[in-house]
Structure 1
Amino acid sequence: MYFVKTYRSYIIILIFTLLWQTWTFAQTNQVQFGKNRVQFHDDFDQWLYYETNLFTVYWYGKSRNAGHKVVRIAEREFNDIIKTIDFKTNEKTEFLVFADITDLKQSNIGISDAFEYDGDITKTVDNKVFIAFDGNHNHLRRQIREGIAAVYLNNLLFGSNLQEMVQNSLMLSLPQWFKTGLISYFGEEWSSHYDLRVAKVLSNKRIKDFEQLAAADPRLAGQMFWNYVGFNYGKNAIGNLVYVTRINRNLDKGFQYVLGNSYDNIIQSVFKYYKSRSDEHIKELKNIDRQWKPVTRMRTKEVVTAMELSPDGKSLLMVTNQISKIRVRLVDLKTGKSKTLLKYGSKNKIQAPDPNYPCIAWKNDGKNILICYERFDKINLREYDVGTGKHRSQLIPGRYQRLYRIAYWDDRNIVINGTTDGYGNIFLYKLSTRESTEITTDPFDKLDMTVAGKGSSRSIYFSSNRPDASLTRVSGDSILPVGSFNIFSLQQVTADDGTSGWSMAQHTFNDNFSERLPYVDEQGILHFLTNEYKNNAIVRVGPDEKYRAGTSNVNLINLPVVIDQFALSGKTRKIYLNIFDGERYRLTSMDADRWVASDVGLSKSPKEFDYTVPGDRQFQDSSAVINARHTVFRKVETEIPENMKFITKYGDITEEETSETVRPERANEPKVSGANKMMPLNPLNIVPYRLRFKITDSGVNFDNSMLFEGMNSYIGGGESNLFPPFGLLLKAQLRDMFEDYRLEGGVRIPVALNGNEAYLVYDDLKYRLDKRVALYRKASNERLNIGNISTQVRKNIILMGQYDVKYALDQFNAVKVGLTLRQDRSFYKDTDLNSLDKPNETDQRVGIRVTYILDNTLDKGLNLMAGTRVRVFGEWVKQFEVSFDKKFNFNFNKGHMWVGGFDARNYMELGRHSILATRVAGQVSFGTERILYYLGGSDGWLFPGFNNETQTASDVNFAYQVPAPSLRGFQYNIRNGNNYGLISNELRVPFLRYLSRRPISSTFLNNLQLVGFFDVGSAWTGWNPFTKYNPLNTVYISQPGIDVKVNYFRNPIVFGYGAGIRFLLFGYFIRLDYARGWDTGNLTPPRMYISLGADF
């Protein structure tokens, strides 16, 4: 002890030095919330993986074929990306391949974060890339490219090990557009769609420079910038700029060294460049804005994701999405009124909704509606009777992983466009027996399926990236279907031998642009969307016509907006459009007299972004028969002509570009262009995943936070046993690859070296019911001065075990049930004769707690968030006694306690950066034992003060004592009791962000915040805080020979107000608050608080 007193200052300096080396960020408020991952199935029980020199790809049963494609695409795309970034790392990129977006959202990886997923940019966590297959291999390729770019950019900018990552994150502060825009640049090339978005954003008069545009849409601004740099300076400049910026940890120097100009001048040039390109488009948008006719009233942020016109053209069936709140609405087109047929989901600003569901279809007679939707990872089919309003439902068989389109074929059968075993195909599904027959069985993508015609003239139209309509058998392992989409149709035919089958025909021929969303009207005229022209256009061709690229005098509608969906009615002469005007989606209508010839006043997509257009080819009408009974393609001894092969911007894959040799072509296999061939996989390299752990989080922290939301035993009360002493917390966490299992352990040693704390926590998150087992031990030595004679040392030991189970209701809501066993043991060390007579004290208790948790918050920055958090709990605690001293003794008849409480928080965004945070909290305890709550002070207060003048009820048996949440302006114990209530308000303003038009490069300055706050609360004993018997209103005065009891009224409610500043220093978030308090009409002197950790 002498050593500690003599060298205490040196020990503290050493501790801070160690902390500066580790840069921990583990400071949080005491109450734990958190979001959920909901597992609806056990498909993740068996994972497999395939490892190459560069990547490790993981998949499970349903995502097997998609996983195989990911291996090949990643190997193929890697060189193109790395050539631009000009950076390599020893860390392998790990791809986690999911069968669909629903499965992706069930993964536990990154569970401690909000796991934001907007659907537009590939999600990555560390070196893990999340891939969800949506039936379109072009989208799959984009996700892979974005994932590789994101992982390598993270390693380049922030390093691959923990020390580099923390140091660079502290020293290098980049604007959001810098990284997100570059990832998008690698994933998808510039197109007219981006031109439209830029024009719409720039039409806003409030957008006057690049920084304002970046604040409004960071991803678009970044895509604009990197496209500008690549086009004007060359792609090599992109990697150089990123590298130099990282080396100098300064954006300005990167611009100056690589681009030869300052940051301000470059972004000004970028803004002017796109402004000049968009002027004409902006005029077109302003002119057409006056022509839109709304179809029905839409809610705020509600967009249409699917729509179908009724056969009589009088009603519109549509699917809407309002921030993940899904509705199926039936609109009367004459009145504009709508009726909601189906509604599910909740508003979710964090994760993008599923774009595929619901699927909708009209029956030919207009009397029935078919709705296909997904709930709890099961596909439901509902048939709705329009006349009666009744419906009947059934589950789609589990072999279907995902449905994209549905349509009636006849009264008994429907046609399904969906995915099974990782491939999208078309099926005939019998409603009564739930049996299905495969119409197509090939690896090419098939989307936008619809049924046209009646009776024997019925046909199935769809868009596909297949090379032609030949039915040559193609192995899914041999090619990569990433070509452009054309329109095809299937007709049911009867062969000469009486066998029923299907014939296929091709209606559009385009190698460089895509045709989507086919629709055939009553006259057999085919309509479809094409992106051959600027934005995209609706084209119509006659029943016997074929559409080829460059065809002139084609009737079409070309608007200065992106047409997302359309529906036509020949009876009402109306066209209904769901358009994107660059800013938002609109549902509108127009008269069907807007058709013009393709060579009149139309412009193609900007040539600087076009692929190379091949020479004209001879039109060939190709058709064949698919045998529906055997559901396989008939082999045809033919080769695809040279001028009909896929044309892409990639060259052939050479042997050097792949890790394995390409196998010889099989006989009778079509010769697809070399750019679309893929490297084979060696089946011997596919290995089952075995559980393995690695350290994912370790560090050293200096704090005095309560672990396990713990309570201290009430032994005489007072501050001596109220706050854990400041100490050095060393902890480490082990996680398995998929973060289904976590093991965390830690030890905290006080600076005074007068005790220790240790804990071990194991989490099992594999299934929907999460389980946790926790062990905790705390030992502390407390020095008690007995007059002037001697000093006694009391040792307190807490042993606690917890078992919790949590059931996730959805991503934001959960119910948790916990069982706690606790033993508090206290004894005196033999320091003098009086200590020998002191009895040991042991308290044993068991508790059962039920908790409801809501958390839909979204992090907006350090100490800044938006959304709501709620935690409500009830707990029953029972004292018991188990001993084995002389004989076994068990006594369950001792005291008990009931505890209830809540903590509700709301974070409201004010402008672009500021947050108004409100907290309402309270707890009550009753029974033969109770908890004593101390009101006042500040969470994480470095030098806490305690008010010894406030009286405590002497007739109440307190078992524990706990500091209530912050009420600044006072010391702890300005009020106490077995109940408390508190309201806190904070306005958090990162003011320097408003003063600078440019991103702030300094992490310290970027996180500097001004805070204004107001706290009001009370703690009291009994049921009524205003009773005259409240101990707060009683003061005892003792003098020799006389004891006086004085009663006077004190307002049980106190409040404090003030201002503060928040900043990040040496990895610690520090709060400085200057506050005054109001107590029974009197203002207290100003008080300064220095605290560690984030605000509530």
Structure 2
Amino acid sequence: MLKFLFKPSLFYLLTLGILLPSINTNAQVYREEFGKNRIQYKYFNWQFLESNNFEVYYYDGGKDLASKTIEYLESDFSRITEAMGYFPYSKTRIFLYNSIVDKQQSNVGIRGLDFTIGGQTNFIKAQVEVAFSGDFTAYKSDLIYSVSEMLVNEMLFGGNIAEMFQSAFSNPIPTWFTKGVSAYIAYGWDRQSDDIARDYVLSKESTKFNNLNEDLSIVVGQSIWNFIAQKYGQRSVSNILNLARIIRNEESSIGKTLGITYPQFVQEWRKYYADFNNIILENYQVAPSSSVISSDKAKVKKISDLKFNREGTLLAYASLDNGKYDVRVINMNSRDELLLFKGGEKLLHQEFNENYPLLSWVDEFTLAILSVIDGRNVITIKRVGARGEQVLPIPNLSQIQSFEFKEGGKLAVMTAVINGVSDVYLYLVNRGSIRRVTNDRYDDRDASFLPSSNIIVFSSNRSSDSVYVEGPNTIKEVNVNQFNLYTYDLDLVDSVFGKLTNSLAIDATPYALDSENLFYLSDQQGINNLYKFQMKDSLSSQMSSYALSLKDYSLDPINNRLAFITTQDSEDVIVLQGIEDLQQAFTPVTPRRAFETSKILAELRRKRLIESNVKDTVRANAIGEIAKPVQPKIDSLKEGAIDTDNYVFKNESKVDSKNYKFEKPTENTQPAVGRSFLSIYQNRQAENKIRGPLNYENRFQTDNVITTFVIDEIRSFSQLLEIQMADYLENHRFHGGVLVPYNFKSGMDIFLEYEYLKERFDVRAKYYRKSIRREDRNTLMSQRYNLNRFEVGLALPQSSEWRFELSPFVSQTKFIDQNPLLLLNAPANIIPERTASYVGFKASIVYDDSFVAGVNVHEGTRAKITYESHYKANADAVGFNNLEVDLRHYEKLTKGVYLAGRFFYGRYGGSAPKQYLLGGVDNWAFNKTISTGDEKDPLLFQTLFDNSDILFHQFTNLRGYDYNSFQGKNVLTLSAELRFPISQLLEGSDTQSAFVRNLQIIGFYDLGSAWQDLSPFKERNNLNTVEIQEDGSPFSAVINNFSNPWLQSVGGGMRTMFFGFYSRMDVAWPIRDFTVQTPRFQLSIGYDF
């Protein structure tokens, strides 16, 4: 890392960060910093492969997967670009992770989606990160989705700098439009989108999609694009995207392309899936709400696993919430629910493995929970009703897809990944070791034991039952539409897997009720339903006919009960029914499945035709070789042939290099055949070569640029210019900016920051310069105050939410009195210049589990405790310290109503404590400041008076009051807001107006006080006690005026986007000395706390 700091390129970037006219931070230079963390558990040694259109980066253990990935992407590149009608400007960089756990250690996107004042331009990067998801079937589609999403973003929001700046001032295009089309290109018309779309039109009346949560928005958007392709043709997809690229309006682009109004289009989409629903509901049933047994205690929308214990008395399930999970157990007799285990971390805007945790009962009251802790797969053994737990590490395996304990609890079977290949493994509990069962490139899933045997049953997309077949060589060859059930006997050394089912569908989640009956889930008819396979006669029969797919299930053979997970009102629920209610069903194929089956059969016919043609060609060539007559040997040269043994040059003269004449080029008399653009493009593709591996180098690119203005409390209107740069992986980040007052006379701020985030510890180096200049033409007063500070910080993240920071620093203040009269008649012993130097440290504990729920809306909690100490380093310096506690909480009360609260306490101490100035708001236009003009006034500026403390004083917000209404070395404020985002309250009325879309109404209450030594919590305090003493008099008096030491205000306000800047207008009624005063209007820019 130290060598890197001295590279010439880095010096150039440091200089560039200061001198560029547009520079980026977060327009919140003076506001508290929180933020999430990423923890690195391993070192990534990156290399990459390069082709015509892609660069695929990989690290140890990922070379084979990277090679297959780049080959597959090149083969599918034409289809992707043709589907969206867009060809990218540059190569796409793919960073390939061996597992989702590894990808969670990436620093890309760590800054999240938090707010800036305005004027921010984000730069679109031709780069994606993809994690191998456990098998090639899922990875194949996930890869195309990630690439498609990046290309759509580049297409709509800027492939060049001009388009990026234009998109910064355009209305945002919603998720259902952008990510929906990416999902359609990757997954097509799949079962999940079909289920969710039909459930949505059945249960939701609203046809406005902008306020849906992201997951639902993507799938609904996918169904919308599928409808467009099915009804209006595939070409309409690219036409709509290209028109949206121009006019930046998704509704108009759809309406103008299809020739109908947008409301008509939405009604057509709704009717399209409603008609399918009506057809399906004639032959399928809906799970009754009365049979739902899952409670709403988990408050999440996804349930990942479901398991009865062998006695059927307890039912365990896992509920997910963005990476966090709860494991709950239902007592089937009393229906009481117990929270048994909590784990995981809330990961926002970051991929997490939705398959974890996995559950399996060891015995009647002992549950095994498989999850990831600190980047490693472990099994946590928990006993119901008992404290404590046992943790068993699982070596070598990653991306575990399924696991089940055998009776006795000494052996478990798993499907997991090693080196990018999914296979079946055994886990020996006593030894803590694993043993491989299958060894090929097929995808294996859902392994379990047949009762009282050593026979494993699992689902696989293998096309052969031989154990010696290696599987597909390329990703393109992977069969994603056909998974059948297989068995393998651990006691027999056999070269054949036992194949149980043989269908053109995905058969999954096998569970043997007994030695004769095997249940499993299958989408043979288009919807995942329960099937039964009879071992004796090898027959399968459909046993349920639900209209929405079963996601998982568990059987209780002792009590003849079935529990399964399905969807109701876009949320996962657990439904309970009796096994005796399962009757053999015969349901028709859904329209989606009919369309899918026709494509599968057409592809099979195409492959068979190719194989047949190849065989015919080989056979014909073989026959031709046999029938080919023997050619006689040639003893003499044909006329005109070259005799290499007796060759004579025509011209024996030497070449005249000084006067050489080239021969005239001969004209090509052959016609140019097959040189169309398409053939040239195809030839270019045919010549594609994969180069590498090459070593990864730190190349930097601009993340975003901010050009905005700040209303400084002392220097008034100022221009803020910022830039943020990072390498591809965002392990190295540069952040710099300047703040220049518009009058160019009040001073200037410069800051530059470098962060190194690649290791377990995060390192930061920061330089900050602040300059304040004050002038008074009447008195010729002219003073300059400068602060220079350099710090090196070290942060230790404990989780994605917690971190500890320590930053040693050196700083220096300089006071210069520039009054011209001092040059003519300076008083004796008066030095108009003074420099104070300090050394010190800053320590912080930061907690942040909040997330962005809308414009100026958060949910969650933020907290920061900071202690900073300045020690004198020269004679003119006087030491001081500072302690601050900042606590914020954001709670969603109901739809469109949020409560936000903030507690802030600060205290200066030491020999020269500084001041908190209470009153006003950040970036307040037409602000007012109270200044008493006496020596106690922290804002006093006069000739020969060194007020360098102004460089450390802090303005603290309190609405309804002027700046510096109260001052003291202690401050405490409380703020509460009710926030009403209009766009969320009026779900049924989407608007393209940025003003209305970002409009928010608030009500607030503020309380605060600042004091020196006597706390306002005491009856006698600094604010109601006045000491009177005459000069030369031995007597003094202390008077209590019974003033209220607390300032209060109550009021309301409006927030919205105005000319590209988020603006606030508040009307506050100050409450001072128990009296409600005249309301104050305050106009400001920027976001609330």
TM-score bracket, normalised by the shorter chain, equals: 0.7 to 0.9
1:944 counterpart SS class:
coil
**Residue of structure 1 equivalent to 2:89:** 90
Residues 38 and 760 of structure 1, relative CA distance in 2, 3 Å threshold: same
Asked if residue 482 in structure 1 is aligned to residue 479 in structure 2, the reply is: yes
Contact preservation (8 Å) 2:137, 2:443: no
Equivalent-residue separation in structure 2 for 1:255 and 1:1059 (angstroms): 39
- Give the drift of 1:764: 0.8
The 3-state SS of whatever aligns with 1:614 is: helix
1:1002 aligned to which of 993, 997, 1007? 993
Would you say the 8 A contact 2:794–2:807 is kept in 1?
Answer: yes
- Count of residues in correspondence between the two structures: 977
- Structure 1 unaligned segments of length 5 or more: list them: 1-20, 117-123, 495-499, 619-638, 646-652, 663-678, 706-721, 884-893
- What are the within-5 Å matches in structure 2 for residues 100-139 of structure 1? 100-113=99-112, 126-139=125-138
Partner of 2:509 in structure 1? Answer: 517
Hey, what does 2:39 align to over in structure 1?
39
Q: Given that residues 144 and 185 in structure 2 are in contact (C-alpha distance below 8 angstroms), is that contact kept between their aligned partners in structure 1?
A: yes
2:1022 aligned with 1:1030 = yes
> Residues 704 and 295 from structure 1, CA distance in 2 versus in 1: closer, same or farther, beyond 3 angstroms?
closer
Structure 2 counterpart SS, 1:805: strand
Shift of 1:739: 0.4
Structure 2 CA distance, aligned partners of 1:1048 and 1:384? 64
Matches within 5 A, 1:126-275: 126-204=125-203, 207-210=205-208, 217-275=216-274
Question: 2 CA distance for matches of 1:337 and 1:328?
Answer: 14
Summarize the alignment of residues 857-896 of structure 1 with structure 2, pairs less than 5 Å apart: 857-881=850-874, 895-896=878-879
Q: What letter matches 1:207 in structure 2? A: E
Taking the aligned partners of 1:1079 and 1:984, their CA distance within structure 2 comes to 16
Deviation readout 1:86-112 (Å, 9 max, x if unpaired): 111213222221122222221101111
Determine if contact 2:1014/2:1022 at 8 Å carries over to the other structure: no
Identity of aligned residues (%): 21
TM-score (norm 2): 0.81
**Partner of residue 435, structure 2:** 437
Q: In the TM superposition, what is the alpha-carbon distance from 1:750 to its structure 2 partner? A: 2.8
Kept after mapping to 1: 8 A contact 2:955/2:964 = no
RMSD: 4.1
Q: 1:971 aligns with which of 962, 981, 985?
A: 962
Instruction: In structure 1, give the amino acid aligned to 2:27.
Output: Q
**Could you say which residue in structure 1 is the equivalent of 2:733?**
742
Q: After TM superposition, list the pairs within 5 Å mapping 1:300-449 onto structure 2.
A: 300-301=299-300, 304-321=303-320, 324-337=323-336, 342-345=341-344, 353-362=352-361, 370-382=368-380, 392-398=390-396, 400=398, 402=400, 404-408=402-406, 413-449=411-447
Assess if the C-alpha contact under 8 Å between 1:197 and 1:581 holds in 2: no
Deviation at 1:934? 0.8
One-letter identity of the residue aligned with 1:899: N
Question: Separation in 2 of the partners of 1:773 and 1:252?
Answer: 47
Aligned AA (2:42)? D
Structure 1 counterpart of 2:703, which letter?
A: T
Greater Rg, structure 1 or structure 2?
2
Preserved contact between residue 931 and residue 958 of structure 1 (Cα < 8 Å)? no
1:687 to 674, 679, 694: 694
Displacement, 1:77? 2.5
Q: Where does residue 542 of structure 1 map in the other structure?
A: 534
1:982 aligns with 2:973: yes
Change (3 A) 1:1016 1:658: farther
In structure 1, what residue type is equivalent to 2:924?
Answer: W
TM-score calculated relative to the size of structure 1:
0.81
Query: Are 2:526 and 2:590, in contact at CA under 8 Å, matched by a contact in 1?
Result: yes
Is the contact between residue 293 and residue 589 of structure 1 (CA under 8 Å) also seen in structure 2?
yes
Q: Which runs of 5+ in 2 are unaligned?
A: 1-20, 116-122, 616-677, 940-946
Task: Tell me the amino acid that sits aligned with residue 700 of structure 1.
Answer: T
CA offset at residue 501 of structure 1? Answer: 5.6
User: Structure 1's 641 and 450: CA in aligned 2 closer, same or farther, altered over 3 A?
Assistant: farther
Match of 1:919 among 897, 902, 906: 902
Structure 2 counterpart of 1:826, one-letter code? F
> For structure 1, which segment, 225-234 or 821-830, has the greater mean C-alpha deviation from structure 2 after superposition?
821-830
CA distance in 2, matches of 1:726, 1:416: 64
Separation (CA, whole Å) in 2 of partners of 1:927 and 1:115? 36
> Deviation at 1:351?
5.1
8 Å CA contact 1:406–1:417 kept in 2: the answer is no
After superposition, the Cα gap between the structure-2 partners of 1:505 and 1:834, relative to the gap in structure 1 and judged at 3 Å, is farther
- For residue 922 of structure 1, report the CA deviation from its aligned partner: 1.8
Residues 1:99 and 1:601: Cα distance change in structure 2 (over 3 Å): closer
- What is the match of residue 558 of structure 2? 571
Aligned residue in 1 for 2:718: 727
Contact 1:987 1:1011 in 2 (8 A): yes
* CA–CA distance in structure 1, aligned partners of residues 990 and 791 of structure 2: 46
1:558–1:602 contact (8 Å) kept in structure 2? no
**2:922 maps to 1:939:** yes
1:764 aligns with 2:740: no
Q: How far apart are 1:774 and its partner, in Å?
A: 0.9
Cα 1:1038–1:322 shift into 2, 3 Å: same
On the 8 A contact 1:401/1:421 being kept in 2, the answer is no
C-alpha distance after superposition, 1:196-246 (max 9, x if no partner): 333433343x61545699689433432332222111110111111122233
In the superposition, relative to structure 1, how do residues 689 and 604 fare at CA in structure 2: closer, same or farther (>3 Å)?
same
Matched residue SS, 1:563: coil
Question: Which amino acid in 2 is paired with 1:422?
Answer: G
Q: CA deviation at 1:514?
A: 0.8
* Deviation of 1:300 (Å): 3.0
1:1020 aligned onto 2:1018? no
Does residue 928 of structure 1 match 2:911?
A: yes
SS in 1 for 2:445: strand
Change (3 A) 1:218 1:285: farther
Q: In 2, distance between residues paired with 1:474 and 1:466?
A: 10
Which residue pairs with 1:1071 in the alignment? Answer: 1064
Aligned to 2:842: 849
**Secondary structure in 2 aligned to 1:187?**
helix
Encode CA deviations 1:1049-1084: one digit per residue, 9 max, x unaligned.
422211223444334344333333343422224444
Q: In the TM superposition, what is the alpha-carbon distance from 1:519 to its structure 2 partner?
A: 1.7
Deviation at 1:407, TM superposition (A): 3.4
Q: CA deviation at 1:937?
A: 1.2
CA shift digits 1:605-634 (9 cap, x unpaired): 55245443539999xxxxxxxxxxxxxxxx
Question: Alpha-carbon deviation of 1:973?
Answer: 1.4
- SS in structure 2 at match of 1:881: coil
The one-letter code sitting in structure 2 at the alignment partner of 1:968 is R
Aligned to 2:17: none
Contact 1:968–1:1056 (CA under 8 A) maintained in structure 2: yes
Question: Which amino acid is 1:42 matched to?
Answer: K
Change in Cα spacing, 1:658 to 1:873, as seen in structure 2 (3 Å) is farther
Query: How has the CA–CA distance of structure 1 residues 723 and 598 changed in structure 2, closer, same or farther, with 3 Å as cutoff?
Result: same
SS in structure 1 at match of 2:550: strand
Tell me the distance in 2 between the aligned counterparts of 1:861 and 1:325.
21
TM-superposition CA deviations, 1:114-150 (whole Å, max 9, x none)? 599xxxxxxx974322212221322212222222221
SS in 1 for 2:183: helix
Change in CA separation of 1:251 and 1:347 when aligned onto 2, cut-off 3 Å: closer
- Which secondary structure does the structure 2 equivalent of 1:798 belong to? strand
Cα deviation digits, residues 818-871 of structure 1 (max 9, x gap)? 223221121334723344753232222233222222222222333233222222
Tell me: CA distance 1:947–1:900, structure 2 relative to 1, closer, same or farther (3 Å): same
1:1036–1:1044 Cα contact (<8 Å) kept? yes
**Amino acid of the residue matched to residue 1043 of structure 2?**
R
Match of 2:795 among 778, 794, 806: 806
Partner of 1:696: 703
Secondary structure (helix, strand or coil) at the match of 1:178 reads helix
- Return the offset for 1:1032: 6.1
Residue pair 2:22, 2:722 contacting (<8 A) in 1 also? no
User: 3-state DSSP class of the match of 2:755?
Assistant: strand
What's the offset of the Cα at 1:939?
0.6
| Counterpart code for 1:310 | N
State whether residues 918 and 957 of structure 2, in contact with CA within 8 Å, keep that contact through their aligned partners in structure 1: yes
Correspondence for 1:1094: 1087
